[in-house]
Structure 1
Amino acid sequence: MLAEGKIIKSISGFYYVLSEDVVYQCRARGVFRKRKITPLVGDLVKFEADNGTDGYIIELLPRKNELVRPPIANVEQALVVFSVKEPDLSLQLLDKFLVHIEANEIEAIICFTKMDLLTATERERLFDVASLYRSLSYPIFFLSIVEQENYAPLKAYLKDKITVVAGQSGVGKSSLLNGLDTSLQIATNEISTHLGRGKHTTRHVELLPIAGGLVADTPGFSSLDLSHFNEEDLSLYFPEMKQRREKCKFRGCTHLAEPHCAVKDALKSGEIAESRYNHYVQFFNEVKETKRRY
Protein backbone atom coordinates (compact mmCIF):
# COMPACT_ATOMS: atom_id res chain seq x y z
CA MET A 1 0.00 0.00 0.00
CA LEU A 2 1.46 3.38 -1.07
CA ALA A 3 0.16 6.29 1.00
CA GLU A 4 0.98 9.84 2.10
CA GLY A 5 1.40 11.02 5.65
CA LYS A 6 3.28 13.29 8.03
CA ILE A 7 6.19 12.35 10.29
CA ILE A 8 5.14 13.18 13.85
CA LYS A 9 8.01 11.54 15.78
CA SER A 10 11.53 10.24 15.13
CA ILE A 11 13.40 7.97 17.55
CA SER A 12 16.44 5.72 16.97
CA GLY A 13 16.02 5.46 13.20
CA PHE A 14 12.27 4.87 13.31
CA TYR A 15 9.87 7.42 11.86
CA TYR A 16 6.27 7.51 13.07
CA VAL A 17 4.04 8.61 10.21
CA LEU A 18 0.48 9.86 10.77
CA SER A 19 -1.88 9.07 7.90
CA GLU A 20 -5.67 9.26 8.17
CA ASP A 21 -5.62 8.99 11.99
CA VAL A 22 -3.36 5.91 11.94
CA VAL A 23 0.30 6.02 12.99
CA TYR A 24 2.75 3.81 11.05
CA GLN A 25 6.21 2.89 12.29
CA CYS A 26 8.55 3.32 9.32
CA ARG A 27 12.18 3.02 8.34
CA ALA A 28 13.73 5.20 5.64
CA ARG A 29 14.92 3.50 2.46
CA GLY A 30 18.69 3.26 2.01
CA VAL A 31 18.53 5.71 -0.89
CA PHE A 32 18.10 8.55 1.62
CA ARG A 33 21.41 7.65 3.32
CA LYS A 34 23.19 7.49 -0.02
CA ARG A 35 21.90 10.96 -0.91
CA LYS A 36 22.67 12.22 2.62
CA ILE A 37 19.03 13.17 3.14
CA THR A 38 17.53 12.86 6.60
CA PRO A 39 13.75 12.79 7.02
CA LEU A 40 12.57 15.26 9.66
CA VAL A 41 9.61 15.48 11.98
CA GLY A 42 7.03 17.54 10.10
CA ASP A 43 7.98 16.13 6.70
CA LEU A 44 5.21 15.09 4.33
CA VAL A 45 6.18 11.70 2.92
CA LYS A 46 5.08 8.87 0.68
CA PHE A 47 5.43 5.49 2.34
CA GLU A 48 4.65 1.82 1.85
CA ALA A 49 3.00 -0.17 4.63
CA ASP A 50 2.98 -3.91 4.02
CA ASN A 51 1.54 -5.30 7.23
CA GLY A 52 -0.81 -2.64 8.53
CA THR A 53 1.37 -0.68 10.95
CA ASP A 54 4.99 -1.05 9.74
CA GLY A 55 6.46 0.34 6.54
CA TYR A 56 9.17 2.19 4.62
CA ILE A 57 9.42 5.85 3.63
CA ILE A 58 9.78 6.02 -0.15
CA GLU A 59 9.79 9.75 -0.90
CA LEU A 60 10.03 13.11 0.86
CA LEU A 61 7.65 15.75 -0.48
CA PRO A 62 8.94 19.35 -0.89
CA ARG A 63 9.51 21.26 2.37
CA LYS A 64 8.23 24.75 3.11
CA ASN A 65 11.14 25.25 5.51
CA GLU A 66 13.39 23.34 7.88
CA LEU A 67 14.98 24.19 11.21
CA VAL A 68 18.34 22.87 12.40
CA ARG A 69 17.68 23.14 16.12
CA PRO A 70 15.18 21.73 16.71
CA PRO A 71 15.35 19.48 13.59
CA ILE A 72 11.84 19.92 12.19
CA ALA A 73 10.26 20.78 8.82
CA ASN A 74 7.21 22.64 7.52
CA VAL A 75 6.74 24.80 10.61
CA GLU A 76 4.06 27.47 10.21
CA GLN A 77 4.33 29.31 13.50
CA ALA A 78 6.35 29.43 16.71
CA LEU A 79 5.29 29.96 20.30
CA VAL A 80 8.22 31.95 21.64
CA VAL A 81 8.14 31.22 25.36
CA PHE A 82 9.95 33.51 27.80
CA SER A 83 9.58 33.54 31.56
CA VAL A 84 9.36 36.86 33.36
CA LYS A 85 11.17 35.45 36.42
CA GLU A 86 13.36 32.41 37.13
CA PRO A 87 15.05 32.96 34.70
CA ASP A 88 14.56 36.71 34.28
CA LEU A 89 13.31 38.05 30.97
CA SER A 90 16.08 38.83 28.45
CA LEU A 91 14.86 41.07 25.62
CA GLN A 92 18.16 40.61 23.79
CA LEU A 93 17.60 36.84 23.69
CA LEU A 94 13.94 37.33 22.77
CA ASP A 95 14.97 39.46 19.79
CA LYS A 96 17.52 36.84 18.73
CA PHE A 97 14.80 34.19 18.73
CA LEU A 98 12.56 36.48 16.70
CA VAL A 99 15.33 37.10 14.14
CA HIS A 100 15.74 33.36 13.59
CA ILE A 101 11.98 32.87 13.29
CA GLU A 102 11.58 35.76 10.83
CA ALA A 103 14.48 34.41 8.75
CA ASN A 104 12.61 31.12 8.35
CA GLU A 105 9.37 32.91 7.37
CA ILE A 106 7.55 31.56 10.42
CA GLU A 107 4.84 33.48 12.28
CA ALA A 108 5.80 34.26 15.89
CA ILE A 109 3.52 34.30 18.93
CA ILE A 110 5.12 35.58 22.14
CA CYS A 111 4.16 33.90 25.42
CA PHE A 112 5.30 35.40 28.72
CA THR A 113 5.15 32.74 31.46
CA LYS A 114 5.29 32.69 35.28
CA MET A 115 3.20 35.87 35.49
CA ASP A 116 2.18 34.90 39.04
CA LEU A 117 5.74 35.68 40.21
CA LEU A 118 5.48 39.41 39.35
CA THR A 119 4.44 42.23 41.62
CA ALA A 120 1.81 44.71 40.40
CA THR A 121 4.55 47.25 39.54
CA GLU A 122 6.56 44.64 37.63
CA ARG A 123 3.44 43.67 35.69
CA GLU A 124 2.95 47.24 34.56
CA ARG A 125 6.54 47.42 33.33
CA LEU A 126 6.07 44.16 31.43
CA PHE A 127 2.86 45.43 29.82
CA ASP A 128 4.86 48.42 28.51
CA VAL A 129 7.43 46.05 27.00
CA ALA A 130 4.68 43.88 25.52
CA SER A 131 3.06 46.89 23.85
CA LEU A 132 6.26 47.39 21.83
CA TYR A 133 6.11 43.85 20.43
CA ARG A 134 2.37 44.04 19.90
CA SER A 135 2.97 47.16 17.77
CA LEU A 136 5.16 44.95 15.54
CA SER A 137 2.13 42.64 15.00
CA TYR A 138 3.31 39.87 17.31
CA PRO A 139 0.40 38.34 19.27
CA ILE A 140 1.15 38.41 23.03
CA PHE A 141 -0.06 36.05 25.76
CA PHE A 142 0.51 36.34 29.52
CA LEU A 143 0.46 32.90 31.14
CA SER A 144 0.85 31.23 34.52
CA ILE A 145 -0.04 27.86 35.97
CA VAL A 146 -2.43 29.57 38.40
CA GLU A 147 -4.36 31.45 35.68
CA GLN A 148 -5.49 28.57 33.46
CA GLU A 149 -8.23 30.62 31.77
CA ASN A 150 -5.53 32.51 29.84
CA TYR A 151 -4.73 29.38 27.82
CA ALA A 152 -8.12 29.26 26.07
CA PRO A 153 -7.52 32.19 23.63
CA LEU A 154 -4.11 30.75 22.71
CA LYS A 155 -5.67 27.45 21.58
CA ALA A 156 -7.42 29.23 18.70
CA TYR A 157 -4.01 29.99 17.15
CA LEU A 158 -3.04 26.31 17.04
CA LYS A 159 -5.87 24.88 14.96
CA ASP A 160 -4.75 23.29 11.65
CA LYS A 161 -1.16 24.54 12.11
CA ILE A 162 2.24 22.98 12.77
CA THR A 163 3.59 24.96 15.70
CA VAL A 164 7.02 24.79 17.31
CA VAL A 165 7.53 25.79 20.94
CA ALA A 166 10.80 27.67 21.32
CA GLY A 167 12.61 29.21 24.26
CA GLN A 168 15.53 28.75 26.60
CA SER A 169 15.57 26.05 29.27
CA GLY A 170 13.46 26.48 32.36
CA VAL A 171 10.99 29.05 31.02
CA GLY A 172 8.02 26.71 31.29
CA LYS A 173 7.57 25.26 27.78
CA SER A 174 6.45 21.87 29.09
CA SER A 175 4.17 23.53 31.64
CA LEU A 176 2.65 25.58 28.80
CA LEU A 177 1.88 22.43 26.81
CA ASN A 178 0.37 20.78 29.89
CA GLY A 179 -1.77 23.90 30.31
CA LEU A 180 -2.98 23.65 26.72
CA ASP A 181 -3.83 19.96 27.10
CA THR A 182 -4.05 18.59 30.64
CA SER A 183 -3.94 14.99 29.37
CA LEU A 184 -0.32 15.35 28.20
CA GLN A 185 1.36 15.34 31.64
CA ILE A 186 4.77 16.17 30.14
CA ALA A 187 7.57 15.97 32.71
CA THR A 188 8.74 19.33 34.07
CA ASN A 189 11.64 20.28 36.30
CA GLU A 190 12.22 23.26 38.54
CA ILE A 191 15.04 25.71 37.86
CA SER A 192 18.45 24.53 39.04
CA THR A 193 19.43 27.08 41.70
CA HIS A 194 23.10 26.29 41.15
CA LEU A 195 23.10 26.72 37.37
CA GLY A 196 20.27 29.26 37.16
CA ARG A 197 18.57 27.40 34.35
CA GLY A 198 16.14 24.56 33.84
CA LYS A 199 17.10 20.97 33.27
CA HIS A 200 16.61 19.51 29.80
CA THR A 201 13.45 17.51 30.37
CA THR A 202 12.56 17.11 26.67
CA ARG A 203 14.75 14.57 24.82
CA HIS A 204 13.40 14.40 21.28
CA VAL A 205 11.19 16.26 18.85
CA GLU A 206 7.61 15.05 18.64
CA LEU A 207 4.46 16.57 17.14
CA LEU A 208 1.64 16.40 19.66
CA PRO A 209 -2.04 16.78 18.68
CA ILE A 210 -3.22 19.84 20.63
CA ALA A 211 -6.28 22.05 20.05
CA GLY A 212 -6.84 20.79 16.50
CA GLY A 213 -3.23 21.32 15.41
CA LEU A 214 0.19 19.69 15.82
CA VAL A 215 2.62 21.19 18.32
CA ALA A 216 6.31 20.29 18.62
CA ASP A 217 7.69 19.90 22.10
CA THR A 218 11.40 20.62 21.63
CA PRO A 219 14.59 20.58 23.69
CA GLY A 220 15.27 23.91 25.36
CA PHE A 221 18.36 25.95 24.55
CA SER A 222 19.80 29.25 25.72
CA SER A 223 21.85 30.60 22.78
CA LEU A 224 21.36 30.95 19.05
CA ASP A 225 24.11 30.97 16.44
CA LEU A 226 24.07 33.82 13.91
CA SER A 227 27.03 32.55 11.87
CA HIS A 228 24.93 31.61 8.83
CA PHE A 229 23.41 35.11 8.53
CA ASN A 230 24.66 37.87 6.23
CA GLU A 231 25.07 41.40 7.59
CA GLU A 232 23.22 42.93 4.64
CA ASP A 233 20.15 40.71 5.24
CA LEU A 234 19.89 41.12 9.00
CA SER A 235 17.56 44.14 8.95
CA LEU A 236 15.06 42.09 6.89
CA TYR A 237 14.32 40.14 10.08
CA PHE A 238 13.38 43.25 12.06
CA PRO A 239 9.89 44.11 10.71
CA GLU A 240 10.14 47.79 11.65
CA MET A 241 13.42 48.06 9.70
CA LYS A 242 12.35 45.94 6.76
CA GLN A 243 9.44 48.27 5.97
CA ARG A 244 11.74 51.31 5.96
CA ARG A 245 14.94 50.10 4.28
CA GLU A 246 13.69 50.89 0.76
CA LYS A 247 13.50 54.56 1.82
CA CYS A 248 17.20 54.68 2.71
CA LYS A 249 19.27 56.72 0.26
CA PHE A 250 21.87 53.99 -0.30
CA ARG A 251 21.12 50.49 -1.53
CA GLY A 252 22.47 47.97 0.95
CA CYS A 253 22.33 50.50 3.80
CA THR A 254 23.44 48.89 7.07
CA HIS A 255 21.64 51.54 9.15
CA LEU A 256 24.81 52.20 11.14
CA ALA A 257 26.80 55.18 9.81
CA GLU A 258 25.26 55.96 6.41
CA PRO A 259 23.63 59.37 5.88
CA HIS A 260 19.96 59.74 4.93
CA CYS A 261 19.04 56.45 6.58
CA ALA A 262 15.29 55.98 7.07
CA VAL A 263 15.85 53.51 9.90
CA LYS A 264 18.03 55.91 11.89
CA ASP A 265 15.55 58.71 11.22
CA ALA A 266 12.79 56.51 12.65
CA LEU A 267 14.99 55.74 15.65
CA LYS A 268 15.49 59.46 16.33
CA SER A 269 11.76 60.14 16.10
CA GLY A 270 10.93 57.26 18.44
CA GLU A 271 9.19 55.15 15.78
CA ILE A 272 11.79 52.41 16.29
CA ALA A 273 12.57 51.34 19.86
CA GLU A 274 16.11 51.99 21.04
CA SER A 275 16.32 48.50 22.58
CA ARG A 276 15.48 46.84 19.28
CA TYR A 277 17.97 48.99 17.35
CA ASN A 278 20.72 48.29 19.92
CA HIS A 279 20.11 44.56 19.59
CA TYR A 280 20.27 44.88 15.80
CA VAL A 281 23.70 46.54 16.13
CA GLN A 282 24.87 43.79 18.52
CA PHE A 283 23.71 41.05 16.14
CA PHE A 284 25.26 42.85 13.15
CA ASN A 285 28.62 43.02 14.88
CA GLU A 286 28.31 39.39 15.98
CA VAL A 287 27.72 38.29 12.37
CA LYS A 288 30.54 40.49 11.10
CA GLU A 289 33.00 39.17 13.69
CA THR A 290 32.06 35.57 12.90
CA LYS A 291 32.63 36.14 9.18
CA ARG A 292 35.97 37.85 9.90
CA ARG A 293 37.22 34.86 11.93
CA TYR A 294 36.36 32.41 9.20
Structure 2
Amino acid sequence: MEGTIIKGIGGFYYIKVEEKIIECKARGKFRNKGMSPIVGDRVEITANNDKGTIEKIFERKNELIRPLVCNITQAFVVFALRNPNINLDLLNKFLIQCELKKIKAIICFNKIDLLENHEEEEVVKMIESAGYEYIFLNAKKGIGLDNLKNKLKNNVTVFCGPSGVGKSTILNNIVGKNIMETGEISTKLKRGKHTTRHSELVEVCGGFVVDTPGFSTLNLNVESKEEFKNCFPEFWEYEDGCKFSGCMHYKEPGCMIKKAVEDNEINVNRYEFYIRTLEEIIKGGKNKW
Protein backbone atom coordinates (compact mmCIF):
# COMPACT_ATOMS: atom_id res chain seq x y z
CA MET A 1 0.00 0.00 0.00
CA GLU A 2 1.05 3.59 -0.57
CA GLY A 3 0.39 6.53 1.71
CA THR A 4 1.69 9.78 3.23
CA ILE A 5 3.45 10.18 6.56
CA ILE A 6 1.39 12.68 8.54
CA LYS A 7 3.18 12.36 11.90
CA GLY A 8 6.33 10.83 13.35
CA ILE A 9 7.07 10.36 17.06
CA GLY A 10 9.74 8.26 18.74
CA GLY A 11 10.46 6.02 15.78
CA PHE A 12 6.77 5.44 14.99
CA TYR A 13 5.29 6.89 11.81
CA TYR A 14 1.59 7.43 11.15
CA ILE A 15 0.68 6.85 7.52
CA LYS A 16 -2.51 8.11 5.91
CA VAL A 17 -3.66 5.42 3.47
CA GLU A 18 -6.96 6.42 1.89
CA GLU A 19 -9.27 6.81 4.91
CA LYS A 20 -7.12 4.91 7.43
CA ILE A 21 -4.18 5.85 9.65
CA ILE A 22 -1.64 3.03 10.03
CA GLU A 23 1.11 3.08 12.66
CA CYS A 24 4.40 1.92 11.15
CA LYS A 25 8.05 1.46 11.93
CA ALA A 26 10.79 1.88 9.33
CA ARG A 27 12.99 -0.96 8.19
CA GLY A 28 16.59 -0.89 9.40
CA LYS A 29 17.84 -0.64 5.84
CA PHE A 30 16.95 3.07 5.81
CA ARG A 31 19.27 3.77 8.76
CA ASN A 32 22.02 1.81 7.05
CA LYS A 33 21.66 4.05 4.00
CA GLY A 34 21.63 7.20 6.15
CA MET A 35 17.97 7.82 5.35
CA SER A 36 15.17 8.63 7.72
CA PRO A 37 11.46 8.98 6.92
CA ILE A 38 10.02 12.43 7.60
CA VAL A 39 6.57 13.99 7.63
CA GLY A 40 5.28 14.46 4.10
CA ASP A 41 7.07 11.45 2.66
CA ARG A 42 5.18 9.29 0.21
CA VAL A 43 5.90 5.71 1.27
CA GLU A 44 5.11 2.13 0.43
CA ILE A 45 4.15 -0.05 3.39
CA THR A 46 3.11 -3.54 4.35
CA ALA A 47 0.49 -3.75 7.10
CA ASN A 48 -1.53 -6.12 9.23
CA ASN A 49 -4.23 -5.05 11.71
CA ASP A 50 -3.42 -1.33 11.48
CA LYS A 51 0.28 -1.94 12.26
CA GLY A 52 2.84 -1.87 9.53
CA THR A 53 6.34 -1.43 8.19
CA ILE A 54 7.71 1.21 5.81
CA GLU A 55 9.26 -0.66 2.89
CA LYS A 56 10.07 2.17 0.50
CA ILE A 57 10.43 5.97 0.56
CA PHE A 58 9.63 7.60 -2.76
CA GLU A 59 11.79 10.39 -4.15
CA ARG A 60 11.09 13.77 -2.53
CA LYS A 61 10.10 16.81 -4.56
CA ASN A 62 11.58 19.11 -1.91
CA GLU A 63 12.51 19.21 1.75
CA LEU A 64 12.46 21.85 4.46
CA ILE A 65 14.60 21.77 7.60
CA ARG A 66 12.46 23.95 9.87
CA PRO A 67 9.86 22.59 10.00
CA LEU A 68 11.25 19.19 8.99
CA VAL A 69 8.79 18.24 6.28
CA CYS A 70 8.90 17.34 2.60
CA ASN A 71 6.84 17.34 -0.60
CA ILE A 72 5.38 20.79 0.07
CA THR A 73 3.41 22.07 -2.92
CA GLN A 74 2.51 25.58 -1.80
CA ALA A 75 3.37 28.18 0.82
CA PHE A 76 1.20 30.92 2.28
CA VAL A 77 3.79 33.68 2.73
CA VAL A 78 2.25 35.87 5.44
CA PHE A 79 3.26 39.50 5.93
CA ALA A 80 1.42 42.29 7.75
CA LEU A 81 0.92 45.51 5.84
CA ARG A 82 1.50 47.35 9.12
CA ASN A 83 2.63 46.45 12.64
CA PRO A 84 5.27 45.39 11.77
CA ASN A 85 5.90 47.32 8.56
CA ILE A 86 7.00 45.19 5.62
CA ASN A 87 10.69 44.66 4.96
CA LEU A 88 10.76 44.29 1.16
CA ASP A 89 14.12 42.51 1.10
CA LEU A 90 12.88 39.95 3.61
CA LEU A 91 9.73 39.33 1.59
CA ASN A 92 11.83 38.82 -1.53
CA LYS A 93 14.04 36.34 0.34
CA PHE A 94 10.98 34.30 1.29
CA LEU A 95 9.96 34.25 -2.37
CA ILE A 96 13.47 33.13 -3.37
CA GLN A 97 13.23 30.31 -0.80
CA CYS A 98 9.98 29.15 -2.39
CA GLU A 99 11.45 29.28 -5.90
CA LEU A 100 14.54 27.32 -4.81
CA LYS A 101 12.33 24.62 -3.29
CA LYS A 102 9.89 24.57 -6.24
CA ILE A 103 7.02 25.64 -3.96
CA LYS A 104 4.19 27.79 -5.26
CA ALA A 105 4.05 31.01 -3.20
CA ILE A 106 0.82 32.81 -2.39
CA ILE A 107 1.40 36.06 -0.51
CA CYS A 108 -1.04 36.80 2.30
CA PHE A 109 -1.22 40.46 3.30
CA ASN A 110 -2.64 40.48 6.82
CA LYS A 111 -3.90 43.31 9.07
CA ILE A 112 -5.56 45.17 6.21
CA ASP A 113 -7.71 46.94 8.81
CA LEU A 114 -4.67 49.12 9.60
CA LEU A 115 -4.76 50.71 6.13
CA GLU A 116 -7.56 52.37 4.17
CA ASN A 117 -6.07 51.92 0.70
CA HIS A 118 -4.19 48.66 1.06
CA GLU A 119 -4.50 47.92 -2.68
CA GLU A 120 -2.29 50.93 -3.43
CA GLU A 121 0.64 49.91 -1.23
CA GLU A 122 3.98 49.78 -3.04
CA VAL A 123 4.59 46.21 -1.90
CA VAL A 124 1.28 45.08 -3.43
CA LYS A 125 2.26 46.63 -6.77
CA MET A 126 5.65 44.90 -6.55
CA ILE A 127 4.08 41.47 -5.96
CA GLU A 128 1.52 42.01 -8.71
CA SER A 129 4.25 43.05 -11.15
CA ALA A 130 6.24 39.89 -10.32
CA GLY A 131 3.22 37.76 -11.19
CA TYR A 132 2.61 36.25 -7.74
CA GLU A 133 -0.86 35.55 -6.45
CA TYR A 134 -1.85 37.49 -3.33
CA ILE A 135 -4.73 37.66 -0.86
CA PHE A 136 -5.78 40.36 1.60
CA LEU A 137 -6.62 39.21 5.13
CA ASN A 138 -7.86 40.39 8.46
CA ALA A 139 -7.25 37.18 10.36
CA LYS A 140 -8.78 38.32 13.66
CA LYS A 141 -12.08 39.06 11.94
CA GLY A 142 -11.87 36.07 9.59
CA ILE A 143 -11.76 38.22 6.47
CA GLY A 144 -10.15 36.42 3.52
CA LEU A 145 -9.77 33.05 5.26
CA ASP A 146 -12.32 31.36 3.00
CA ASN A 147 -10.10 32.31 0.04
CA LEU A 148 -7.21 30.48 1.69
CA LYS A 149 -9.30 27.41 2.44
CA ASN A 150 -10.34 27.20 -1.20
CA LYS A 151 -6.68 26.82 -2.18
CA LEU A 152 -5.91 23.88 0.12
CA LYS A 153 -7.43 21.04 -1.93
CA ASN A 154 -4.87 18.56 -3.30
CA ASN A 155 -2.00 20.57 -1.79
CA VAL A 156 0.45 20.20 1.07
CA THR A 157 0.65 23.74 2.44
CA VAL A 158 3.10 25.39 4.80
CA PHE A 159 2.81 28.83 6.39
CA CYS A 160 5.84 31.09 6.55
CA GLY A 161 6.70 34.70 7.27
CA PRO A 162 8.33 36.82 9.98
CA SER A 163 7.21 36.84 13.61
CA GLY A 164 4.25 38.95 14.67
CA VAL A 165 2.36 38.95 11.37
CA GLY A 166 -0.50 36.66 12.44
CA LYS A 167 0.57 33.24 11.10
CA SER A 168 -0.61 31.39 14.21
CA THR A 169 -4.00 33.13 14.21
CA ILE A 170 -4.55 32.29 10.54
CA LEU A 171 -3.44 28.69 11.01
CA ASN A 172 -5.64 28.13 14.07
CA ASN A 173 -8.68 29.58 12.28
CA ILE A 174 -8.17 27.45 9.18
CA VAL A 175 -7.58 24.20 11.04
CA GLY A 176 -10.43 24.95 13.43
CA LYS A 177 -8.60 24.33 16.68
CA ASN A 178 -6.00 26.07 18.77
CA ILE A 179 -2.96 24.08 17.70
CA MET A 180 -0.59 27.01 18.16
CA GLU A 181 0.22 29.44 20.91
CA THR A 182 -0.56 32.96 19.83
CA GLY A 183 0.76 36.37 20.77
CA GLU A 184 0.06 37.04 24.42
CA ILE A 185 0.87 33.57 25.78
CA SER A 186 4.17 33.36 23.93
CA THR A 187 5.16 36.86 25.04
CA LYS A 188 4.53 35.99 28.70
CA LEU A 189 6.57 32.81 28.49
CA LYS A 190 9.54 34.71 27.03
CA ARG A 191 10.88 31.70 25.23
CA GLY A 192 11.52 30.59 21.68
CA LYS A 193 8.22 29.72 20.09
CA HIS A 194 7.50 26.33 18.55
CA THR A 195 11.15 25.24 18.49
CA THR A 196 10.68 21.74 19.92
CA ARG A 197 7.41 20.61 18.39
CA HIS A 198 7.33 17.94 15.75
CA SER A 199 5.60 18.81 12.51
CA GLU A 200 2.35 17.14 11.67
CA LEU A 201 0.13 17.21 8.61
CA VAL A 202 -3.48 18.11 9.38
CA GLU A 203 -6.12 17.26 6.79
CA VAL A 204 -8.20 20.32 5.92
CA CYS A 205 -10.47 21.03 2.93
CA GLY A 206 -9.17 18.14 0.85
CA GLY A 207 -5.49 18.86 1.42
CA PHE A 208 -2.86 18.84 4.14
CA VAL A 209 -1.60 21.77 6.22
CA VAL A 210 1.66 21.67 8.15
CA ASP A 211 0.54 22.36 11.72
CA THR A 212 3.36 24.76 12.61
CA PRO A 213 4.34 28.03 10.96
CA GLY A 214 7.29 27.24 8.75
CA PHE A 215 10.49 29.13 8.19
CA SER A 216 10.41 32.53 9.93
CA THR A 217 14.17 32.99 9.55
CA LEU A 218 16.10 32.16 6.42
CA ASN A 219 19.37 30.52 5.60
CA LEU A 220 19.30 30.27 1.84
CA ASN A 221 21.93 28.30 0.04
CA VAL A 222 22.11 29.46 -3.57
CA GLU A 223 24.37 27.18 -5.59
CA SER A 224 25.19 29.62 -8.40
CA LYS A 225 24.46 33.00 -9.95
CA GLU A 226 22.42 31.22 -12.61
CA GLU A 227 20.28 29.43 -10.02
CA PHE A 228 19.63 32.77 -8.29
CA LYS A 229 18.69 34.47 -11.56
CA ASN A 230 16.15 31.75 -12.30
CA CYS A 231 14.31 32.56 -9.06
CA PHE A 232 12.73 35.67 -10.63
CA PRO A 233 9.74 34.53 -12.71
CA GLU A 234 9.15 38.03 -14.09
CA PHE A 235 12.47 37.76 -15.95
CA TRP A 236 11.53 34.65 -17.90
CA GLU A 237 9.44 36.17 -20.69
CA TYR A 238 12.13 38.76 -21.55
CA GLU A 239 15.33 36.70 -21.33
CA ASP A 240 15.25 35.32 -24.87
CA GLY A 241 15.54 38.88 -26.15
CA CYS A 242 18.84 39.60 -24.38
CA LYS A 243 21.81 40.20 -26.69
CA PHE A 244 24.03 37.66 -24.96
CA SER A 245 23.16 34.08 -24.15
CA GLY A 246 23.53 33.58 -20.41
CA CYS A 247 23.02 37.30 -19.69
CA MET A 248 23.00 37.97 -15.94
CA HIS A 249 21.02 41.22 -16.43
CA TYR A 250 23.73 43.13 -14.62
CA LYS A 251 26.29 45.08 -16.69
CA GLU A 252 25.76 43.43 -20.05
CA PRO A 253 24.69 45.61 -23.02
CA GLY A 254 21.52 44.77 -24.88
CA CYS A 255 19.79 43.36 -21.79
CA MET A 256 16.02 43.15 -22.14
CA ILE A 257 15.53 42.86 -18.38
CA LYS A 258 17.14 46.25 -17.79
CA LYS A 259 15.02 47.73 -20.57
CA ALA A 260 11.88 46.21 -19.00
CA VAL A 261 12.82 47.89 -15.70
CA GLU A 262 13.26 51.23 -17.47
CA ASP A 263 9.87 50.77 -19.12
CA ASN A 264 8.26 49.96 -15.72
CA GLU A 265 7.36 46.47 -16.89
CA ILE A 266 9.55 44.91 -14.17
CA ASN A 267 9.36 46.41 -10.68
CA VAL A 268 12.43 48.48 -9.85
CA ASN A 269 12.46 47.37 -6.19
CA ARG A 270 12.63 43.72 -7.20
CA TYR A 271 15.38 44.42 -9.72
CA GLU A 272 17.44 46.41 -7.20
CA PHE A 273 17.11 43.56 -4.71
CA TYR A 274 18.29 41.18 -7.43
CA ILE A 275 21.37 43.31 -8.17
CA ARG A 276 22.32 43.80 -4.49
CA THR A 277 22.12 40.07 -3.81
CA LEU A 278 23.86 39.14 -7.07
CA GLU A 279 26.77 41.42 -6.10
CA GLU A 280 27.05 39.63 -2.75
CA ILE A 281 27.24 36.29 -4.52
CA ILE A 282 29.83 37.58 -7.03
CA LYS A 283 32.06 39.29 -4.44
CA GLY A 284 32.67 36.58 -1.93
CA GLY A 285 30.47 33.61 -2.60
CA LYS A 286 28.12 34.93 0.06
CA ASN A 287 25.44 32.58 -1.08
CA LYS A 288 24.04 31.92 2.38
CA TRP A 289 22.10 34.92 3.61
TM-score range, shorter chain: 0.7 to 0.9
Aligned residue pairs: how many?
Answer: 285
Amino acid paired to 2:32:
K
Residue 28 of structure 1 aligns with which residue? 26
Name the TM-score, length of structure 2 as normaliser: 0.88
Stretches of structure 2 that go unaligned for 5 or more consecutive residues are none
Residue 276 of structure 2 aligns with which residue? 282
Residue 47 of structure 2 aligns with which residue? 49
Q: Distance in 2 between matches of 1:205 and 1:36?
A: 21
| Residue 107, structure 1, aligned to residue 101, structure 2 | no
Root-mean-square deviation (CA), in Å? 2.6
Residue 37 of structure 1 aligns with which residue? 35
What is the CA distance between 1:213 and its match in structure 2?
Answer: 0.9
Residue 179 of structure 2 aligns with which residue? 186
Q: Label 1:264 to 1:143 Cα distance change in 2 as closer, same or farther (>3 A).
A: same
Residue 139 of structure 1 aligns with which residue? 133
What is the CA distance between 1:12 and its match in structure 2?
Answer: 3.1
* 1:13 aligned residue (11, 15, 26): 11
Q: Label 1:29 to 1:288 Cα distance change in 2 as closer, same or farther (>3 A).
A: farther
Secondary structure (helix, strand or coil) at the match of 2:276 reads: helix
Q: CA offsets per residue over residues 220-279 of structure 1, 9 Å max, x none?
A: 544322333311221211111122222211122121111111111111111111110111
Name the TM-score, length of structure 1 as normaliser: 0.86
Q: Distance in 2 between matches of 1:167 and 1:293?
A: 21
Q: Do the aligned residues in 1 keep the contact of 2:159 with 2:214 (CA within 8 Å)?
A: no
Q: Distance in 1 between matches of 2:175 and 2:187?
A: 28
Q: Do the aligned residues in 2 keep the contact of 1:174 with 1:217 (CA within 8 Å)?
A: no
Q: Label 1:153 to 1:227 Cα distance change in 2 as closer, same or farther (>3 A).
A: closer
Pairing 1:40-189 to 2, within 5 Å after superposition: 40-50=38-48, 52-116=49-113, 118-120=114-116, 123-126=118-121, 128-182=122-176, 184-189=177-182
| Greater alpha carbon shift after TM alignment, 261-270 vs 149-158 | 149-158
After the TM superposition, which parts of structure 1 deviate over 4 Å for at least 4 consecutive aligned residues?
A: 191-194
What is the CA distance between 1:159 and its match in structure 2?
Answer: 0.9
Q: Label 1:74 to 1:290 Cα distance change in 2 as closer, same or farther (>3 A).
A: farther
Q: Do the aligned residues in 2 keep the contact of 1:7 with 1:43 (CA within 8 Å)?
A: yes
Q: CA offsets per residue over residues 154-200 of structure 1, 9 Å max, x none?
A: 21111121112122233222211222232x21222327789xx9952
Q: Distance in 2 between matches of 1:198 and 1:278?
A: 36
| Greater alpha carbon shift after TM alignment, 68-77 vs 26-35 | 68-77
Q: CA offsets per residue over residues 8-60 of structure 1, 9 Å max, x none?
A: 1223332211112221222211111111112121111011223x233221101
Stretches of structure 1 that go unaligned for 5 or more consecutive residues are none
Pairing 1:140-289 to 2, within 5 Å after superposition: 140-182=134-176, 184-190=177-183, 199-201=192-194, 203-289=197-283
Q: Distance in 2 between matches of 1:263 and 1:94?
A: 21
Q: Do the aligned residues in 2 keep the contact of 1:226 with 1:287 (CA within 8 Å)?
A: no
Identity across the alignment (%): 41
